Amino acid sequence: MTPADALLGQALVEEATKKSGLVWVRGSGPARALWHVWHEGAAVLVGDGPGEQPLPAGLDAGATAEVTVRSKDKGGRIVAWTAVVAVLEPHSEEWEAAVAELKGKRLNAPDAERMPERWARECRVLRLTPGASRTELPDSSLAVPPLPTGATTRQPAPAALHRLLLKRRGRR
């Protein structure tokens, strides 16, 4: 790989990750889709607390993670890269800067003003810094069954519901 190829690879990783709303991150377990913010040359994310996204297993300080970036408009894979994981210490200078960026992008937070304090107490803020290597995208889809979750789906509509709805239309 030439130095020019390395620079183009870094630019691709940065631009794709910066523009994507979600990245797929794999630690030592299955990959998870995580929202993130690109801040000072790395993907920064928050999770593992009440009301926040669950982080994959194995994302500890000094570990490596596989990050796959998707296209924001089409949802397909653009690039995959290896990241070095750093856990940011609450209230450190680096943590404060990262949380300021994350806070602006966090949607539907129930406690927007107290969110940084809650993150400091109950969550982990991680910094995923791109390593020197990019991985080639596979030819197959890599589709796997969804991870178990506590979320439920709607129950089937009652059999007589359509008759009740038709009666209401007829009265108008």
What's the CA gap between 99 and 105, in Å, rounded? 10
Domains, in order of start, for the chain: 3-148 (2.30.110.10)
> Which burial class, exposed, middle or buried, applies to 35 when counting CB atoms under 10 A from its CB (0-12, 13-18, 19+)?
middle
- DSSP type of residue 150: S
Tell me the pLDDT tens digit for each residue of 121-139.
Answer: 999 999 999 987 777 777 7
Tell me the pLDDT tens digit for each residue of 49-77.
Answer: 888 999 999 999 999 999 999 888 887 88
What's the CA gap between 124 and 66, in Å, rounded? 18
For the ranges 18-22, 59-63, 139-143, the one whose mean pLDDT is highest: 59-63
pLDDT value of residue 5: 80
